[in-house]
Structure 1
Amino acid sequence: MKKKTGYFFLKFFIRATIGMALIFIINKYVLPADSSINVGLNPMTFLTSGTLGIPGVCLLYSITWYQFL
């Protein structure tokens, strides 16, 4: 039981770290500097990217894009 819990948290932090790095790279290098569709790096985006992974990052950008419209 302890191994499963540790494995779950390890996967969560790996997904969250990759998600935050992806958000940083997209904000810094893909989107223009004056763009208003940047996703912030905060605890909510950390939890979303850690829970959902790459689809969570896509969801965050989709929500931001929808608000932009």
Structure 2
Amino acid sequence: MRNGKMKKKITGLILHFFARAVVGMMLIFIINQWVLPADSSINVGLNPVSFLTSGTLGIPGVCLLYGITFYQIL
């Protein structure tokens, strides 16, 4: 009985992680394509690090990635 609850919890955590990661990557893509100017150097790359950050932290993680990128160009 307890093992089934644990599997459901782990499955739920994994699904939430991938949902946050996919939403975060879509948000990064939309911001890079339509919000920022074409010649901007503030673009965040679509890579495994941004996938893990947006999956772990969600939308605040995406904001963090843009904050770090903005801070680097100062």
The alignment's TM-score, normalised by the length of structure 2, stands at: 0.93
- Large movers: runs of 4+ above 2 Å: none
Per-residue CA distance 1:25-69 (angstroms, 9 max, x = gap) = 000000001100000000000000000000000000000000010
How far is the alpha carbon of 1:3 from its aligned partner?
0.2
Give the corresponding residue for 1:50: 55
Count of residues in Structure 1 that have an aligned counterpart in Structure 2: 69
Task: Return 5+ residue gaps in structure 2 as ranges.
Answer: 1-5
Q: Following the alignment from structure 2 to structure 1, what is the Cα–Cα distance between the partners of residues 38 and 17? A: 30
Provide the aligned C-alpha RMSD in A.
0.2
Partners of 1:26 and 1:17 in 2: CA distance: 14
The corresponding residue for 2:21 is: 16
2:64 is the alignment partner of 1:62: no
Q: Matched residues in 2 for 1:68 and 1:49: separation?
A: 21
The counterpart of 1:32, out of the listed 25, 34, 37, is: 37
Secondary structure of 1:33 counterpart: coil
Matched residue SS, 1:40: coil
The letter for the 2-side match of 1:24 is F
The two structures have a TM-score, normalised by structure 1, of 0.99
